[in-house]
Amino acid sequence: MRRLLGSCLLLGALLGAPPAALGQLSPQFGVALGVNVATVSAPADVGTRQMAAGGVVMRLGLPGPLSLEPQLLLSQKGTTVRGGEGSIRYGAGYLNLPVLLRVDGPSLGIVSPYGVVGGFGGVKLFEQQRAGGDLSFPLDAGTSPADVGTRQMAAGGVVMRLGLPGPLSLEPQLLLSQKGTTVQGGEGSIRYGAGYLNLPVLLRVDGPSLGMVSPYGVVGGFGGVKVFEQQRAGGDLSFPLDAGPSLFRRTDGGLTVGVGGTIPLGDERRLNLALRYEHGLVDVARSVDEQPYAQAPFPSSAETRTWAIMLRFGI
Residue 233, in any domain of the structure: yes
Residues 173 and 153 in one domain: yes
What is the four-CA torsion angle of 236, 237, 241, 246, rounded to 10 degrees?
A: 20
Sign of CA dihedral 215, 256, 26, 120: negative
Residue 191, in any domain of the structure: yes
C-alpha angle with apex 42: 38 to 43, nearest 5 degrees? 140
Residues 256 and 173 in one domain: yes
Residues 83 and 174 in one domain: no
16 confidence band (pLDDT: 50, 70, 90): very low
Nearest to 160 by CA among 174, 149, 144, 147: 174
| 8 A C-beta contact, residue 146 and residue 297 | yes
Residue 95, in any domain of the structure: yes
**123-132, 205-214, 250-259, 268-277: range with lowest mean pLDDT:** 123-132
pLDDT value of position 96 = 87
User: Each residue of 19-39: pLDDT tens digit?
Assistant: 444 444 567 777 777 777 766
pLDDT value of position 200 = 93
Residue 190, in any domain of the structure: yes
Residue 155, in any domain of the structure: yes
User: What is the C-alpha to C-alpha distance for residues 284 and 303, in angstroms, rounded to an integer?
Assistant: 6
Q: Looking at per-residue confidence, does 62 or 150 come out higher?
A: 62
Per-residue exposure over 112-147, b if at least 16 CB sit within 10 Å of its own CB, e if not: eeeeeeeeeebeebeeebbeeeeeeeeeeeeeeebe
Residues 109 and 58 in one domain: yes
Residue 113 domain boundaries: 3-138
Nearest to 166 by CA among 26, 44, 60: 26
Rounded to an integer, the average pLDDT of 248-268 is 88
Residue-averaged pLDDT of the chain: 78
| 8 A C-beta contact, residue 45 and residue 21 | no
Contacts of 66 (CB under 8 A, 6+ apart): 101, 102, 103, 104
| 8 A C-beta contact, residue 28 and residue 62 | no
pLDDT value of position 235 = 57
Residues 89 and 166 in one domain: no
Residues 127 and 7 in one domain: yes
Residues 77 and 222 in one domain: no
**17-31, 123-137, 212-226, 300-314: range with lowest mean pLDDT:** 17-31
Question: How far is CA 256 from its chain centroid?
Answer: 6
Q: Looking at per-residue confidence, does 153 or 18 come out higher?
A: 153
User: What is the C-alpha to C-alpha distance for residues 242 and 37, in angstroms, rounded to an integer?
Assistant: 52
User: What is the C-alpha to C-alpha distance for residues 70 and 98, in angstroms, rounded to an integer?
Assistant: 6
Residue 77, in any domain of the structure: yes
Residues 154 and 210 in one domain: yes
Residues 270 and 177 in one domain: yes
User: Each residue of 263-293: pLDDT tens digit?
Assistant: 988 777 788 999 999 888 888 888 777 777 7
Nearest to 214 by CA among 263, 273, 169: 263
Residue ending a domain, choose from 92, 115, 138: 138
What Rg value do the Cα atoms of the chain yield, rounded?
23
First to last CA, the chain: 48
Residue ending a domain, choose from 96, 113, 138: 138
Residues 33 and 65 in one domain: yes
Residues 122 and 27 in one domain: yes
Residue 143, in any domain of the structure: no
Residue 215, in any domain of the structure: yes
Residues 34 and 131 in one domain: yes
Structural domains of the chain, count: 2
Q: Looking at per-residue confidence, does 256 or 146 come out higher?
A: 256
Report the SS3 class of residue 258. strand
Residue ending a domain, choose from 138, 164, 191: 138
